[in-house]
Structure 1
Amino acid sequence: MEKLKVWIWRLLNYNKIHKPYAASSEERESLVIMKSIDTIDHILENNISISRFGDGEFQMMHHYLNNGDEKTFNVDSFQQYNQKLAMRLIDVFKSDTANHLVCIPYALKDSRVSRLGTRLFWEREWNFRKQFLQKLNLNRVFGDTNFTRFYLDRLDILNYPEYISKLKEIWDNRNILIIEGEYSRLGVNNDLFSNANSIQRVLCPAINAFEKYDEILSSMKNQSKDKLVLIALGHTATVLAYDICLLGNQALDIGHIDVEYEWYKIKAKSKVRIPNKYVNEVKEGRMTEDIEDQLYKSQIIKVIN
Structure 2
Amino acid sequence: MAQEKSNSPNTDSLAESLDVSKQILEALQDMNALNKKLLWEAQVTRRTLDTIRTTLARPVLSDVHDFINRAQLSFLDTLKAIKDGQLSFSRFGDGEMRLMLREDYKLTFQKNSPQLASDLKKILTEPAENLLVGFPHLYRDNHWSGVWSDIWDQMKPLLRDIRVVGNSHVSRPVFFQHTGQFGVEAWRDLWEQKKISIITGKDSRFELIQELFDNASQSRFMYSAPKNAYEELEAVRESALQDDSDLTLISLGPAGSVLAYWLAKAGKQAIDIGHISDSYQNVFKGGSWPETKSAVIPR
Q: TM > 0.5 between the two?
A: yes
Written as runs of structure 1 = structure 2, the 5 A alignment for 1:9-158 is 10=50, 12-13=52-53, 25=62, 28-30=65-67, 31-63=70-102, 68=103, 73-107=104-138, 111=139, 119-139=141-161, 140-149=163-172, 151-152=173-174, 157-158=177-178
Return closer, same or farther for 1:135/1:207 CA change in 2, 3 Å cut-off.
same
Normalising to structure 1: TM-score of the pair?
A: 0.73
Unmatched tracts of structure 2, length 5 or more? 1-45
Question: Residue 211 of structure 2 aligns to a residue in which SS?
Answer: coil
CA contact (8 A) 2:60 2:148 kept: no
Could you give the per-residue CA deviations for residues 224-249 of structure 1, whole angstroms, max 9, x where no partner exists?
Answer: 2x620000001111110011112221
Highest CA radius of gyration, 1 or 2?
2
Return closer, same or farther for 1:9/1:44 CA change in 2, 3 Å cut-off.
farther
Q: One-letter code of the match for 1:254? A: I
Question: Residue 192 of structure 1 aligns to a residue in which SS?
Answer: helix
> In the alignment, what sits opposite 2:18?
none
Could you give the per-residue CA deviations for residues 164-219 of structure 1, whole angstroms, max 9, x where no partner exists?
Answer: 11111111111001000113353345432101010011111110011111211111
Q: CA RMSD in A?
A: 2.8
Return closer, same or farther for 1:7/1:50 CA change in 2, 3 Å cut-off.
farther
Return the alpha-carbon distance in structure 2 between the equivalents of residues 15 and 7 of structure 1. 12
Return the alpha-carbon distance in structure 2 between the equivalents of residues 131 and 190 of structure 1. 42
Return closer, same or farther for 1:48/1:286 CA change in 2, 3 Å cut-off.
closer
> In the alignment, what sits opposite 1:210?
230
Return the alpha-carbon distance in structure 2 between the equivalents of residues 189 and 232 of structure 1. 14
**Sequence identity (%):** 25
Report how far residue 14 of structure 1 moved.
5.4
CA contact (8 A) 1:34 1:106 kept: no
Could you give the per-residue CA deviations for residues 28-66 of structure 1, whole angstroms, max 9, x where no partner exists?
Answer: 324411121110111111110011111011111112xxx
Higher-strand-fraction structure = 1
Report how far residue 74 of structure 1 moved.
4.2
Could you give the per-residue CA deviations for residues 251-302 of structure 1, whole angstroms, max 9, x where no partner exists?
Answer: 001111111012123225x62xxxxxxx5x22x6344346xxxxxxxxxxxx
CA contact (8 A) 1:35 1:106 kept: no
CA contact (8 A) 1:61 1:90 kept: yes
> In the alignment, what sits opposite 2:260?
241
Q: Say if 2:201 is the partner of 1:178.
A: no
CA contact (8 A) 1:179 1:204 kept: yes
Return closer, same or farther for 1:96/1:8 CA change in 2, 3 Å cut-off.
farther
Report how far residue 23 of structure 1 moved.
8.1
Could you give the per-residue CA deviations for residues 86-132 of structure 1, whole angstroms, max 9, x where no partner exists?
Answer: 1111011212321111111131xxx3xxxxxx733222222222110
> In the alignment, what sits opposite 2:294?
285
Return the alpha-carbon distance in structure 2 between the equivalents of residues 261 and 27 of structure 1. 28
Instruction: Give the paired residue count.
Output: 251
CA contact (8 A) 2:100 2:121 kept: yes
Question: Residue 141 of structure 1 aligns to a residue in which SS?
Answer: coil
Return the alpha-carbon distance in structure 2 between the equivalents of residues 159 and 51 of structure 1. 21
Return the alpha-carbon distance in structure 2 between the equivalents of residues 7 and 60 of structure 1. 30
Return closer, same or farther for 1:121/1:177 CA change in 2, 3 Å cut-off.
same
Higher-helix-fraction structure = 2
Unmatched tracts of structure 1, length 5 or more? 1-5, 112-117, 272-278, 291-305
Report how far residue 15 of structure 1 moved.
7.8
Normalising to structure 2: TM-score of the pair?
A: 0.75
